[in-house]
Amino acid sequence: VLRIKPGDTVETQTFSRAGDYYTPEKAGPWPGEVGPFFIEGAVPGDTLVVRILKLAPNRDVAISSVTPNGISGVAGDSRTRMLNDPLPTRRFVWRLDRERMVGILDLPNSNSKRIEAPLRPMLGRVAVAPAGEEAWGGLWPGDFGGNLDASDVTQGATIHLPVFHPGALFYFGDFHALQGDGEIVGSGLESTADVTFQFELVKGKRIRWPRIENDEYIMVAGSVRPLIDALRIAYVELIEWLVADYGFDKMEAYQVASQVGVVRVANVVDPNYTVIAKFPKRLLPRP
């Protein structure tokens, strides 16, 4: 949909698959994605660097639904098939107070009739076109990024993605105004947002899995089932990153990462689960 040069800044929006997707009256669970963006000069073996300069909700409402055939981290679903009866259908409409940056949900069946939770805007999906000729459903995360559903993908973060195809073919979407670790209900506060990206290209640098940086951490996002293997990918890749770029001995990196590493369980509902392993920047050697 757009050709971009390294260094370019792009102001855009996430949007809904249908224009009225996120009205309280009629809403589906997942918004559409935006893309692909063709990054000029990107070729397989490069790394695409995407800075999220801005990520701000632009609607007053967000939706999160539970459906009997839907996905869940704590109930039977199509991948974890159970003989138990499915959960009932429920659809939750959150009001977004963008002034105070809180989400408000009425809880008619609970003693506390309402809850207000601080928003933490994030992009569920940042991706490049996957390797080979595979076409993945939008729900998949993987080594190409995709539906990571990681709350670390937010304003101020920088995302590194491996380039598998000429132009990288970046896309993004699935804005969540808020989402808990694991996203156990299968969706966050699904809404739309204004986004500003800046793109860079690291020529000839090949990474195997998405990397994320913010002021505090360097991070790797591993995506696969089962959950322990997503954690293994994230930690092993993080250790190998410490070895390759920061001059650590492998066993010493393993020791140190084990003592200071931080783990986020991003999602346990997508076709692949996603785990983020983090290493504090202040403990990295100075260049």
Strands 90-97 and 114-118: unpaired
- Minimum distance of a copy of itself from residue 4's CB (angstroms): 25
- Minimum distance of a copy of itself from residue 73's CB (angstroms): 7
Distance CA 2, CA 179 (A): 29
Please say whether the beta carbons of 102 and 117 come within 8 A: yes
Complex with a copy of itself: residue 19 or 132, whichever CB lies closer: 132
Tell me the CA distances in angstroms from 106 to 50, 99, 103, 116, 186, one per residue in order. Answer: 37, 19, 10, 9, 19
Complex with a copy of itself: residue 3 or 107, whichever CB lies closer: 107
- Minimum distance of a copy of itself from residue 146's CB (angstroms): 13
- Minimum distance of a copy of itself from residue 199's CB (angstroms): 27
Q: Which of 71, 48, 200, 177 is nearest to 123 (CA)?
A: 177
The residue behind tokens 């003592």 is 259
The number of CA neighbours under 13 Å toward the Cβ of 60 is 2
What letter does residue 235 receive in the DSSP assignment?
H
Distance CA 52, CA 202 (A): 17
Complex with a copy of itself: residue 167 or 182, whichever CB lies closer: 182
- Minimum distance of a copy of itself from residue 66's CB (angstroms): 7
Complex with a copy of itself: residue 18 or 283, whichever CB lies closer: 283
Complex with a copy of itself: residue 138 or 167, whichever CB lies closer: 138
